[in-house]
Structure 1
Amino acid sequence: MLGLGEFQIYRNGSETLHSEYVYKYALPFEKISDKVWWTMFFQAYWHHSITISIAYYVIIRLIEKWMQNRKPFDLRRELLIWNAGLAVFSWLGLIRFSEDFLYNWYTHGFKYSICYSCNPDSVAAFWSLLFAVSKIVELGDTLFIVLRKRPLIFLHYYHHVAVLVYTIHSGAEHTAPGQAFISMNYLAHSFMYTYYAYTAYGKRVPRLVSMLVTTVQTAQMFAGVGVSIFVYNLKVYNNYKCQQSMANLYLAFFIYVTFAILFIQFFYGAYIKREKRKKVE
């Protein structure tokens, strides 16, 4: 499939370009007991992230149809718990995972930090695995939308399935720029789910805050495009070794470009266009 299934890691004795950073403080469970097994598992079944995405879309549409003649569910308490839980997870993930990435950036430079994946025997690998699992869990966001009969936009479900597929594939080949991508996503989701939890609690926030959250999300997409272009130049024009296949790199570029376009459209429609409409009225 466009070279996406041609993995080399842990095959024929091959290894990865990865960081050697070891955390000074690590909890007993913050490790992966069998990194090879998990990697081979992702390599063998990564394509089922597409299967899950298709099933997710079909189920969501069926629930929407089922809800057409029903009253929306009151899920305020459940929504608060859901968003608060994901906010806590995102903040913890940001703090624990990004330490490896930031250390390498500060110590070895940015080029090294996005061409060498996180240490597969350290804490960051554990939080990287949890990150991949969380992309399946986060599909539950959509259930709250359809069961409460709120508008479901294309950006929402496209974002969920695209991130899921890319994350699982990246885990299968230990994509090094994932150091930056995961750190950025943990950061954006920390703000996003904290904001969602606060509003689910019944609190109103200034319009500027919601604009800031969307801005952080949009900036993440542009940063993803920038990192992808930077890695492409390193690999193609500088013959610099980076732990990322060209197939995965092209996929990252496509996904982040489409995300950037869709988030700009959303920002314009939600804030600028709506503000203009209010002024006219």
Structure 2
Amino acid sequence: MEFYRELNSFSIYKNGSDHLTSDYTYKYALPFEKIESPEKITLFLQMNWMHTLTISVLYYAIVRGIELFLKDRSAFDLKTPLLLWNGALAVFSILGFVRFSEDFVLSLFNHGVYRSICYSCHPNDVAAFWSLLFAISKVVELGDTLFIVLRKKPLIFLHYYHHAAVLIYTVHSGAEHTAPGRAFISMNYLAHSFMYTYYAVAAAGVRLPRWVSMTVTTIQTTQMLAGVAISIVVYRIKSVYDWPCQQSYPNLYLAFLIYFTFALLFIQFFYNAYFARKKSSAKKSKKIE
């Protein structure tokens, strides 16, 4: 119960202002790249973030319901919708990375690690706008699973666990303006730029060499390991050095748990997809000989 209370004890826009914010402003911003009322959005996320749990449960139930419904029915083709879906998410991810990461990368070069992972992006600037779109995209990306089950492709635990956990953590982080989110969002936009581009090309019917899919999985796995490393650094900053950092302990523990389990699952997936299968094929060929 104590952990749950801490998980919901947001101070931003409620009690005070120990909110550490970057002073970086973009030199070039499009007219729509701004948030008019960051306070309202923050309060909305603080009061409603827990509904991501409801969405995740419904998401799982709908997915399983569709699988049961299609058990004795033919799969949908969905080749063109899948191509458009992945293509749109690839373009979005690339634009998101280009626009959002400017804030994090320049902060890293100009101010070092501490300010880059302990100061959140400016709530009125371009990075905050793309941060909000990032959170919204985590709901949209649940649609990935629908394409899998409607086409009757194998659905692994890593897939739906990843989607649900990222949604919950992203919205909770947005509610407290979690500073390491500057690194997490940049990494996720980058990884998804490669991932959805790969999916779009594959959906178009292009057969890509094996090393391409291995590279995409490597990028995803590296992202998870980097998330674990950043969480450890933030923990040391807060507990050992006792420096202020815009991330609560409950959010930090969630980050570590999620990234650590993701890292293990992606490493397992990488091994099973590219090494275990290869050994299995080699054994079969020996039997044939």
Residue in 2 aligned with 1:72? 75
| Residue type of the alignment partner of 1:22 | T
* Maintained 8 Å contact 1:2/1:247: no
* Maintained 8 Å contact 1:232/1:249: yes
Superposition TM-score, scaled by structure 2 size: 0.96
Residue in 2 aligned with 1:223? 226
User: Aligned to 2:277, which of 267, 274, 279?
Assistant: 274
State the Cα deviation string for residues 107-135 of structure 1 (Å, max 9, x = none). Answer: 10011100001111100000000000000
Pairs within 5 Å for 1:119-130: 119-130=122-133
CA distance in 1, matches of 2:277, 2:46: 45
Pairs within 5 Å for 1:50-199: 50-199=53-202
3-state SS of paired residue (1:20)? coil
Identity %: 64
CA distance in 2, matches of 1:107, 1:139: 37
Residue in 1 aligned with 2:255? 252
Q: Structure 2: which 5+ residue stretches go unaligned?
A: 285-289
CA distance in 2, matches of 1:242, 1:31: 25
* Maintained 8 Å contact 1:218/1:263: yes
Cα pair distance change 1:260/1:201, threshold 3 Å: same
Pairs within 5 Å for 1:2-13: 3-13=6-16
Residue in 1 aligned with 2:27? 24
Residue in 2 aligned with 1:214? 217
Residue in 1 aligned with 2:49? 46
| Residue type of the alignment partner of 1:234 | I
Q: Structure 1 residues 6-15 or 128-137, which shifts more?
A: 6-15
Displacement, 1:2? 5.5
| Residue type of the alignment partner of 2:279 | K
Size of the aligned set, in residue pairs, is 281
CA distance in 1, matches of 2:273, 2:244: 42
User: Aligned to 2:240, which of 237, 240, 244?
Assistant: 237
| Residue type of the alignment partner of 1:232 | Y
3-state SS of paired residue (1:3)? helix
Residue in 1 aligned with 2:287? none
| Residue type of the alignment partner of 1:66 | F
CA distance in 2, matches of 1:79, 1:12: 46
3-state SS of paired residue (1:17)? coil
State the Cα deviation string for residues 179-232 of structure 1 (Å, max 9, x = none). Answer: 000000000000000000000000000000000000000000000000000000
CA distance in 2, matches of 1:2, 1:258: 24
CA distance in 2, matches of 1:2, 1:142: 33
Query: After the TM superposition, which parts of structure 1 deviate over 4 Å for at least 4 consecutive aligned residues?
Result: none
Displacement, 1:14? 2.1
3-state SS of paired residue (1:109)? helix
Cα pair distance change 1:205/1:2, threshold 3 Å: farther
| Residue type of the alignment partner of 1:277 | S
Displacement, 1:15? 5.0
CA distance in 1, matches of 2:237, 2:54: 33
